[in-house]
Structure 1
């Protein structure tokens, strides 16, 4: 058994805890236990045993560019799944068949599953070349087949100056075409709410999914991204989207510093968006309420960690930042299990 000192993410600078990691196993479920000076009576087998409820995954390219290192760190931290966005510094839709087959072999050898292909499909200008975006979707679909996952993350195109109504028909045309392609191979597109795309807030996310009306297009719920556009994730977004949520990104945030910038959808500097991100439970993303809601809904999908903490915790390396994000999630899930609503 190996151990590693990591920061206790609920209070990153207040104390340290020791992460005890069980030997790797071929499972999509978490295999780690945390004991912490901040919670000395925590029950390893209940309070902080996340896998009793949801499998954890992560966007591993925030740990390292190389897939081998991504896999090694995730295994060391007891995480049994990866959301593949890039490997060896190459976006997943550009990896090509040989690299995808290598990735699949490495993941199989490590006993790891793939929660989704973290594609950039739809993260493009709505007035841009649709055929190019369709090609990227087909590349993502090929990746999903080779990596043995049904889920592909997508976006709903950048809209100029928040002009949702002006571009709604074109967005629906494109997203319907995407859904038809995915359905033809029994794949599932999960739309991530993102600043400046059509589905940036809860109202437009619901309009998108319900207007397309395909089982092949559902929601990847990102609390931090809702906070960044001025939406309260649990109070405002969850009631509109709960029935469509099949994927959940774990990321928290506080409101973006818009000093000197017009209200959203005016663009704020990217560094301000990144600076607003926090570990789970430390922002305004209402993560505790959302986890209770997932519990009540009998959610069976992944909790996908997307740390985005490089600006907030720039003094530690990427592996340590991931450990902070993971510890925060496990602590929050432990609280959810211990105090069900």
Structure 2
């Protein structure tokens, strides 16, 4: 049975509104990225404990830490960034999740990718080694502008670093925005490594985010593929409808609810239950 979660900070910076909307949509988890306009890794210990208490009192859990680890330039200082990774380990353990979202470093525009491959692998291997020591799983999210923006380069990272503590967070919308035309082919390329799904759909003609099933991401086919694999992991709503500019007459709360209901509609179509 697949599990629903989401980036609740797309609803509101207010924690209690995030919780209320998720509960209204029968979503029992959040992918914790920010609250009170502060990134999760920047929250103080007391603030983290307040979030934890509020989630627990509402019977909600954290599916993953939506950290910005790896979302810096490949030429930026890495040693300081490793301190943020240590903070991510602490936060993950505090909230009882084994997953931390990460990226594969922003490359300078126009540079040959091969010029930076060795440094990308060096950095990610160091992060993975620490994840192995901490018994935490780093989830590599594909995103445009990063080394891992295409299925082949994500596969390159996963194969080169070769660890059970590094898995793929598969984002079909991000692949489309990176010029990958077939999310289904991308899925099959990365299938052995996929342990988490970001639910984002995009229309190819303008690159804008739309509710799941309304774009060119072949979401229903991807869900069918997951169903055939008996996938029982997370489907994390990251709809970005607020940022697409296509729904100016809707509030963030309404857009998150629209995104949630669109995903549930696809799951009903393939006769898949969820929690």
Question: TM range, normalised to the smaller chain?
Answer: over 0.9
Structure 1 partner of 2:16: 68
Shift of 1:232: 3.1
Paired residue for 2:253, among 319, 325, 329? 319
TM-score (norm 2): 0.95
Find out whether 1:178 has 2:127 as its counterpart.
yes
Shift of 1:256: 5.9
Deviations along 1:262-306, one digit per CA (max 9) or x if unpaired, are: xxxxxxxxxxx5xx1111001010101100110111112100001
TM-score (norm 1): 0.77
CA radius of gyration, larger in: 1
Q: Distance in 1 between matches of 2:257 and 2:90?
A: 31
Distance 1:235 1:76, change over 3 A: closer
How many residues align? The count is: 269
More helix by share: 2
Find out whether 1:209 has 2:158 as its counterpart.
yes
Find out whether 1:285 has 2:234 as its counterpart.
no
Q: Which has the higher contact order (CA 8 A, sep 6+)?
A: 2
Paired residue for 1:126, among 64, 74, 85? 74
Are the equivalent residues in 2 in contact too, given 1:162–1:196 (CA < 8 A)? no
Is there any run of 5+ residues in structure 1 with no aligned partner, and where? 1-52, 258-272
Q: Distance in 1 between matches of 2:271 and 2:63?
A: 23
Is there any run of 5+ residues in structure 2 with no aligned partner, and where? none
Question: Where does 1:110-189 land on structure 2 (aligned, <5 Å)?
Answer: 110-160=58-108, 161=110, 163-189=112-138
Are the equivalent residues in 1 in contact too, given 2:168–2:195 (CA < 8 A)? yes
Are the equivalent residues in 2 in contact too, given 1:234–1:289 (CA < 8 A)? no
Q: Distance in 2 between matches of 1:229 and 1:114?
A: 29
Runs of 4+ aligned structure 1 residues displaced above 2 Å come to: 232-236
